[in-house]
């Protein structure tokens, strides 16, 4: 079984978060990358055809617990790959989540995670990040920079799970531009629609990125504009992001949803390719009835701030 | 630790099942083999003696979940092996389940799983497939084709768990014949008795098999006759089975138990030794008050049919 | 990923325990060592610096279940190691538990586990053995025999989890002496204090050890004196221990706490470095209102005895 590889990440940080005058000191599990354990492998079937599998699940390093509802919930898939691209069956990130990862310097992780200000707008959508029961198709990698994927997920009779979506992008040299769409059948058979369009350009001394996302559920709507920046610095890099999230009146009628601004800045110092030290400061400024919160923040009251700071180590294996 | 091997199966299929006019489309996890992850190893102790361990648990690839009550529930055992055979301690398949696997072309898995029409007859038996707390002894493999095993399981004070059983068989060249017996102490200290006798003959162009099983719990009785067929075809094989299950009057007084016929047919196309594409059609025809159902079928009403079809990929690693 | 090592133990025994005339026959999982599975690795960062990770969780081999609240609950940590020693973040054994392991011939495992007569005295301490949210510092190994560690754990707002502690010892040639202290913030913000001092001397033909522990929570106090003995014998060794546990009046007002004497004796026969057969006899004699019990013993009534015997196999991988 030489084809089986174990891999993972342990990311532990000392985290301090504050909201409404309450503070919390913690050992956190996802400062830079989410802690995880995985097993994967690829088999060459001949004639350019390959089969592969992937199991990956969350680990909470602070107490040794895991995701009890989905042990391998980050990804569980079997794939057939060839000149035609890849057909993948199972659970994993949707095309839209892959898109948002690409244009968020934080890859939707840690204190700076842009999805902390995304709302499913009361749709009961279970597919904001990942989806169960998916059939995915990925374009091959030899299309001159064009990349893309299509997702279809069976609902199996549960609201918030039936989904289809996809993304299409172009990445060549310093440039990367893409758009993604996703529709999930939510509560009352109403569609929760996500649309994202983004781009980044690597100037060498800095890589700015821009992404615009729009979430809709019936009359409820949320619009998010994210500006990201990655700057190589010495044996590491600076990460920064700014997101302006706006909810319309119908969305604001939902508990906890409102306008919000998310700011985050980090420095990552690489001890090796696998191991890094890092520090992040972040803040969410809510308006109106918004109660968006940073990861592991104390409870936020309507329109209040959620702030955080952490310093940690990320070790990949 | 060169002695540790990770292994497993990811088997994902697009499955369509129907009962009472209701249909269900799913991503299923066990079309041909059950999806699983395992770790095992053997240590040579010298003098012909070996020690070994085996951990193996279920994976639900559609959503990344596992068996939450028994993570390593397929098998968890430590063994001492030598000229005398094998002594194995832990949880795993009982001798009777090993017998039924051998003479069911589907190895009690997927839409064609013969055990879908087996009943524990209200005995609360927890040992139909596997048993906790087992001490097993397996005969050595050099007895001129004779094979066999004996099981004893501690009940630890819970009904349906105290068990003893065994099987004895003869396999040489194309022939394989065996019988298995098992008694589990069920509800009210009454024994749930299982008896199976089966045989197969490999003609080369086809391997037919026949198995007769009898389940008893007090006055309740179920008799099952299974005819199986495996036919090599091109780079794959055809599997087919037909089971006629009959319950006596006392058994039929139990909710859901009745006479039933299970039919299944499949084609398996091997892309390699490890990876196969397959398709299966199956149906259970219930009579009287029977409500036996195919895996993941919608709920069946008394005496109604349960039908299914799937197409999938099985990848072993 | 050549740096990833899987390891573990499967330890299964036939165990017979008795209390109040009730007996229990079981397949047990921790006769000599606790059954477990782990993954660990070390990365050389250059300049004497290393990074490492460690995941280790309990396995119940009798039924394939795991620790459902903390899958990797034995240890989940990431470390930076160098000339300065080791900084470790995550969950694992506290310094006090490491101390007690060292001077208990049973390393707090199995029928002879000395901690079966340790009480947290109603403090709700969750740190008797291991602690979540820990930052640990270990002295380097080149201090001429001096060893030690310091622990700090964040409470994250839960009683029984905020903790600090440490140990300091000297181990050179046959001698090992150490002391450990730990304070956990328990119910009502009252500190649960543990203090241990112990020593062992390896005479070659026998290694006696002595440990004294004191547990305090407000007016409640427990004092424990353990005498241990390890005697090499043929291809194995004899283990024996005797513990005298005394509770003061305030402690005895707690349900189940009282004076107790724990006696245990074992013979371990090594088939190899990794695999051993063993047998243990043990007994706890409670006084007053004490209800301390051996592992998996039937329920003990006030002041009664709990006795046990097992014979098993321990296989490490």
Convert the pLDDT of each residue in B66-96 to its tens digit: 999 999 999 999 999 999 999 999 999 999 9
CA distance A64 to chain C (A): 4
Interatomic CA distance for residues A186 and A122, integer angstroms? 9
Cα C296 from chain centroid? Answer: 17
For the CA atoms of A287, A290, A292, A293, what is the dihedral angle to 10 degrees? 70
Q: Which of B39, B69, B89 has the CB atom closest to C65's CB atom?
A: B69
User: What's the whole-number mean pLDDT along residues B196-208?
Assistant: 98
Q: Residue A40 pairs with which residues in a beta bridge? A: A5, A54
- The kind and range of the H/E element at A103 are helix A95-103
User: How do residues A154-196 score in pLDDT, each as one tens digit?
Assistant: 998 899 999 999 999 999 999 999 999 999 999 999 999 999 9
What pLDDT was estimated at residue C295? 86
What pLDDT was estimated at residue B283? 98
Predicted-complex ipTM score: 0.95
> Is the pLDDT reported for residue C2 higher than 70?
no
Q: Are C72 and A62 an interchain contact pair (Cβ–Cβ within 8 Å)?
A: no
φ, ψ of residue A231 to 5 degrees: the values are -125, 115
Interatomic CA distance for residues A183 and A151, integer angstroms? 10
User: How do residues C83-126 score in pLDDT, each as one tens digit?
Assistant: 999 999 999 999 999 999 999 999 999 999 999 999 999 999 99
What pLDDT was estimated at residue B296? 86
DSSP 8-state class, residue C202: -
Task: Yes or no: say if A117 and A104 are a contact pair by the CB < 8 Å rule.
Answer: no
Q: Are C78 and A271 an interchain contact pair (Cβ–Cβ within 8 Å)?
A: no
* CB neighbourhood size of C143 (10 A): 11
% pLDDT > 90, chain B: 96
> Is the pLDDT reported for residue B269 higher than 70?
yes
| Domains of chain C in sequence order | 5-316 (2.40.160.10)
Residues in Cβ contact with A63 at an 8 Å cutoff, skipping those fewer than 6 apart: C70, C73, C76, C91, C132, C133
Cα B121 from chain centroid? Answer: 18
**Per-chain mean pLDDT for chain B:** 96
* DSSP code string of C243-307: EEEEE-HHHHTSTB---EEEEEEEEEEESSSSEEEEEEEEEEEE-TTB----TTPPPPPTT-EEE
What pLDDT was estimated at residue C266? 98
Interatomic CA distance for residues B240 and B233, integer angstroms? 13
**Residues from chain C contacting residue A5 (CB–CB below 8 Å):** 1
User: How do residues A10-47 score in pLDDT, each as one tens digit?
Assistant: 999 999 999 999 999 999 999 999 999 999 999 999 99
User: How do residues C248-282 score in pLDDT, each as one tens digit?
Assistant: 999 999 989 999 999 999 999 999 999 999 999 99
Q: Which of A8, A26, A315 has the CB atom closest to C154's CB atom?
A: A26
User: How do residues A288-299 score in pLDDT, each as one tens digit?
Assistant: 889 999 988 899
Task: Yes or no: say if C54 and C74 are a contact pair by the CB < 8 Å rule.
Answer: no
Interatomic CA distance for residues A8 and C300, integer angstroms? 45
Q: How confident is the model at residue B295 (pLDDT cuts 50, 70, 90)?
A: confident
**Residues from chain A contacting residue C76 (CB–CB below 8 Å):** 10, 59-64
Quick one: tokens of C2? 């050549």
User: How do residues C167-208 score in pLDDT, each as one tens digit?
Assistant: 999 999 999 999 999 999 999 999 999 999 999 999 999 999
What pLDDT was estimated at residue C1? 40
Q: Are strands A260-270 and B207-217 parallel, antiparallel or unpaired?
A: unpaired
Low-confidence ranges of chain A (pLDDT < 50): 1
CA distance B40 to chain C (A): 9
> Is the pLDDT reported for residue B25 higher than 70?
yes
**Residues from chain C contacting residue A59 (CB–CB below 8 Å):** 55, 72, 76
Which burial class, exposed, middle or buried, applies to B249 when counting CB atoms under 10 A from its CB (0-12, 13-18, 19+)? exposed
User: What's the whole-number mean pLDDT along residues C152-160?
Assistant: 93
Q: Are strands B5-19 and C163-172 parallel, antiparallel or unpaired?
A: unpaired
Number of Cα atoms under 13 Å in the Cβ half of residue A256: 11
**Residues from chain B contacting residue C317 (CB–CB below 8 Å):** 1, 3-4, 41, 43, 53
- The kind and range of the H/E element at A172 are strand A163-172
**Residues from chain B contacting residue C68 (CB–CB below 8 Å):** 68
The Cα-based distances of A13 to A218, A305, B206, B247, C78 in angstroms read 40, 22, 62, 62, 10
- Biggest CA pair distance of chain B: 63
Q: How confident is the model at residue C157 (pLDDT cuts 50, 70, 90)?
A: confident
Interatomic CA distance for residues C209 and C198, integer angstroms? 7
Interatomic CA distance for residues C226 and C263, integer angstroms? 10
Q: Are B156 and C315 an interchain contact pair (Cβ–Cβ within 8 Å)?
A: no
Quick one: tokens of A165? 């979506």
């Amino acid at each position: 079984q030489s084809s089986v590889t174990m891999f993972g990440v342990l990311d532990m940080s000392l985290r301090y978060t504050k909201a409404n005058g309450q503070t919390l000191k913690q050992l956190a599990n996802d400062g830079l990358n989410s802690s995880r354990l995985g097993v994967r492998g690829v088999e060459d079937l001949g004639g350019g055809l390959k089969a592969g599998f992937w199991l990956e699940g969350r680990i909470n390093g602070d107490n040794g617990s895991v995701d009890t509802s989905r042990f391998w919930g980050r990804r569980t898939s079997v794939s057939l790959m060839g000149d035609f691209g890849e057909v993948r069956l199972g659970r994993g990130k949707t095309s839209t989540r892959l898109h948002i990862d690409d244009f968020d310097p934080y890859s939707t992780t840690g204190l700076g995670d842009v999805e902390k200000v995304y709302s499913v707008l009361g749709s009961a959508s279970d597919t904001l990040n990942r989806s169960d029961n998916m059939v995915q198709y990925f374009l091959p990698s030899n299309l001159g920079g064009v990349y893309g994927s299509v997702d279809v997920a069976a609902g199996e009779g549960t609201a918030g799970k039936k989904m289809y979506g996809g993304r299409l992008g172009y990445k060549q040299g310093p440039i990367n531009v893409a758009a993604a769409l996703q529709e999930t059948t939510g509560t009352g058979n109403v569609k929760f629609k996500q649309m994202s369009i983004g781009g980044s350009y690597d100037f060498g001394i800095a890589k700015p990125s821009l992404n615009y996302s729009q979430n809709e559920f019936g009359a409820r709507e949320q619009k998010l504009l994210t500006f990201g920046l990655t700057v190589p610095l010495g044996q590491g890099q600076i990460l920064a992001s700014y997101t302006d999230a706006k909810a319309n009146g119908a969305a604001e009628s939902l508990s906890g949803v409102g306008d919000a601004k998310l700011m985050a800045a980090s420095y990552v110092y690489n001890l090796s390719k696998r191991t890094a030290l890092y520090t992040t400061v972040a803040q969410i400024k809510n308006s109106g009835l918004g109660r968006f919160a940073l990861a592991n923040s104390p409870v936020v009251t309507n329109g209040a701030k959620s702030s955080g700071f952490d310093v940690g180590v990320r070790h990949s294996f």
